[in-house]
Amino acid sequence: MGIKILTHGDTDGICAAALARHRFPNAEIWFTRPIRLLRDLNAIEPGTAVMIFDVAIDEANKDKIFQRMRELAQKDEVLYADHHPLPPGTLKRDFPVTQFALDTGASSSELAFKLLVQDPKSDMDRVALWGAIADYCWDTEFVRERMDKYDRRTIYMEAGLLTQGLGEAAGDYHFKRDIVIKLAQGIPPTEMPDLVDRALKATKREWDIYEYVKKHVVVEENIAIVYNLPVGSLGKAALYALGITGADVGICTRVKKDVVDISIRRRTRSKIDLNEMLRHITARVGGSGGGHEGAAGATVPVNLLETFLDTIKREVSPIRSLGAV
């Protein structure tokens, strides 16, 4: 039946998929997200090898996802490599897969390299570094050691081009699939003209977003909020909101028909666990959410946005006040 790679469409997910594709050149590439993982697993015929990268387990569908993994693993290999916190009450041993790697301090790209690249001296470690830098997962022994092999400025430049170009591509999965294939062949971002063009456009747009945030951000109870960003990265707008206002938490929203996409960022010094907070809030008010301690996202129905934000304000303020005592 062949091999299917299911991966997140951000830079880390794409770099992890490229490392898998390097090992298995005929593998098929699918892009997915936590909320779509169950549907995509159900579309795979038993007898197909499956590799899943950088896709958190959706708490609401955890049991069904594990059941489907178990069914697929009974017929062929199922590999899962990720760096997101597990749903509450979940242990690593609960995963019914044949290969497993989870480390919340490392990138999925680093985990993919360790699992799949047979030659530890392979130059494909560059791809793992680009994915790690893109997801701010550079404080690991692997990254520190591998960085000594290259000029850091060159690695960071390539990582920046890759991240900016893929960010501009957004939902263009044909383009992203082509990038995975080229990275798997060892082609660096600077040798992909279309990617470089997109990266330059994205960078210019980011400065426009920065100016938009300066004009439209509002501060509510130590939370900086940008409502309904017209275009661009919600995550970066939330980050800019922090820097511009000095608030501890930055939030950016965008309405899509009857739902709202939300990105949240926190200051490094903050003790708030955004992943845990969002999982609990969305479980109470509706929608889905999660991510990392310092960077997370959620999707909620439009009519629940006000309730969602009010709940965040109540959760954040007591944590900050208690920390100041």
Name residue 296's beta-bridge partners.
264, 291
Burial class (CB in 10 A: 0-12, 13-18, 19+), 88: exposed
121 three-class SS: coil
Q: What is the DSSP letter of 97?
A: -
Q: Could you give the CA distance from residue 292 to residue 84 in angstroms, rounded to a whole number? A: 6
DSSP string covering 191-216 = G-HHHHHHHHHHHHHHHHHHHHHHHH
* CB atoms closer than 10 angstroms to residue 185: 11
Q: Are 261 and 241 in contact (CB under 8 A)?
A: no
* CB atoms closer than 10 angstroms to residue 281: 21
pLDDT for the residue numbered 42: 97
| CA proximity to 241, closest of 271, 268, 266 | 266
Q: What is the dihedral of CA 93, 95, 100, 102, to 10 degrees?
A: -80
255 three-class SS: strand
pLDDT for the residue numbered 320: 43
| CA proximity to 247, closest of 276, 280, 216, 223 | 223
Q: Tens of pLDDT along 139-160?
A: 999 999 999 999 999 999 999 9
Burial class (CB in 10 A: 0-12, 13-18, 19+), 66: middle
Structure token pair of residue 93: 């041993």
Q: Are 55 and 37 in contact (CB under 8 A)?
A: yes
What are the structural domains of the chain? 3-197 (3.90.1640.30), 217-324 (3.10.310.40)
| Per-residue pLDDT tens listing for the chain (325 residues) | 699 999 999 999 999 999 999 999 999 999 999 989 999 999 999 999 999 999 999 888 999 999 999 999 999 999 999 999 898 889 999 999 999 999 999 999 999 999 999 898 899 999 999 999 999 999 999 999 999 999 999 999 999 999 999 988 878 999 999 999 999 999 999 999 999 999 999 999 999 999 999 999 999 888 999 999 998 889 999 999 999 999 999 999 999 889 999 999 998 888 888 988 988 888 888 888 888 889 999 999 999 999 999 988 888 875 444 444 3
120 three-class SS: coil
Q: Are 128 and 19 in contact (CB under 8 A)?
A: yes
How open is the CA angle 232-223-259, to the nearest 5 degrees?
A: 50
Q: Could you give the CA distance from residue 95 to residue 153 in angstroms, rounded to a whole number? A: 39
Structure token pair of residue 244: 């511009």
Separation of first and last alpha carbons in the chain: 60
Q: Could you give the CA distance from residue 8 to residue 255 in angstroms, rounded to a whole number? A: 22
Helix (H) or strand (E) holding 123: none
